Amino acid sequence: MDQLVESISRRIAQRTSRRSFLARLGTFILGAAAIPLLPVDRVAHAQSAGSTDFKKSAHKNPNDDLTCDYWKYCAIDGFLCTCCGGDSHDCPPGATPSPTSWVGTCHNPGDNRDYIVSYRDCCGKGACGKCLCGNTEGEMPIYRAQLDSDLIWCFGAPTMVYHCSTAEIVGLK
């Protein structure tokens, strides 16, 4: 019996790092798209139905840009650049902002206004892999490419390798 427990524990330990990634992937998947790339022209709301709090925090905080609930991220889909050495509108060192982006609308509960937000991805480096968020609200299949969140939206960037996603305010609705 001792040997059985020991062998199971050892197997679990060997798989831990993968399991924790998969756990995050899991919370993301339940109600969200699986992979980089973001919707355009969505009328979205803060605290939208599909957002997931990957940090499993008890508090849903629309002012914390390290969580999927951050108000600007209302229709984001991908790894948050804030977790990868960038911030919500800046790419991490060594990654390039994609010249092409998605554009959507998010409600800011702070000033009660709707802002037009560009979900510009940072490209040119391997996938960051941290802070995966996703929202499938308004997400469409590939024949409506502008609304497909599985597409690699690095068109025009030095490479089509997706690193992380930002949310850049570009106007007021």
Partner 1 sequence: MPSSRESAAVDAVFRAEYSFASVMRIRPHLAIVALAMLLVISAIPSRAQLPADQMTTLTLPDPKPNWVYIMDLQFPVNMLQKIWIMDGETRKLLGTIFGGYECNFEISPDHREMYMIDTWYSRGWHGDRTDVVTIFDAHTLNAIGEIALPPKRLLIVPKRNTTSLTPDGRFLLIANMTPATSVSVVDLKARKFRGEIETPGCAQVTATGKRQFFSMCADGSMLTVQFDDSGKQTAKTQSKPLFDPNSDPMFDQPAVVGSKAFFISYHGKVLPVDFSGADAVAQPMWSLIDDKDIAQKWRPGGWQTVTFQPRTGILYALMHQGGEWTHKQFGTEVWAFNANTHARVQRIKLKTPGYSILVSNADKPILFDMSLLPSKLETYSAPDGKFLGAYDDIGSPFLLYGP
Partner 2 sequence: MRRALVLLALASYFTASASLACAESAGNLYLLNCWGCHGAHGAGIKGTAPPLVGLSDFLKVPGGRAYLIEVPGVSLSSLNDAQIASVMNWVLDQMSTDRNFAPYTANEVHRLRATRLPELSKTRHALLDQLVTMKVRTSAE
Which one, 113 or 173, has the nearer CB to partner 2? 173
Classify each residue of 20-42 as buried b or exposed e, where b means 16 or more C-beta atoms within 10 Å of its C-beta: eeeebbebbeeebbebbbbbbeb
Part in contact with partner 2 (CB under 8 A); list of ranges 9-17, 54-62, 94-102, 126-134: 94-102
Residue 7 Cα distances to 10, 11, 26, angstroms? 5, 6, 26
Find all residues with CB under 8 Å of 54, minimum gap 6, and list them.
Answer: 24, 27, 28, 67, 68, 131, 132, 133
Least Å distance between CB 152 and partner 1?
4
Q: Is 118 in the site for partner 2 (CB under 8 A)?
A: yes
Q: Determine the size of the site formed for partner 2 (CB under 8 A).
A: 23
For partner 2, the binding residues in 138-157 under the rule CB under 8 A are 138, 144, 146, 155-156
Give the shortest CB-89-to-partner 1 separation in angstroms: 22
Taking the complex as a whole, how short is the minimal distance between the CB of residue 157 and partner 2, in angstroms? 9
| CB half-sphere exposure, 12, CA atoms < 13 A | 6
Q: Virtual CA dihedral for 103, 122, 86, 93, nearest 10 degrees?
A: -150
Catalytic residue annotation: 102, 121
Residues that bind partner 2 (CB under 8 A): 40-41, 43, 45, 49, 99-105, 116, 118, 137-138, 144, 146, 155-156, 170-171, 173
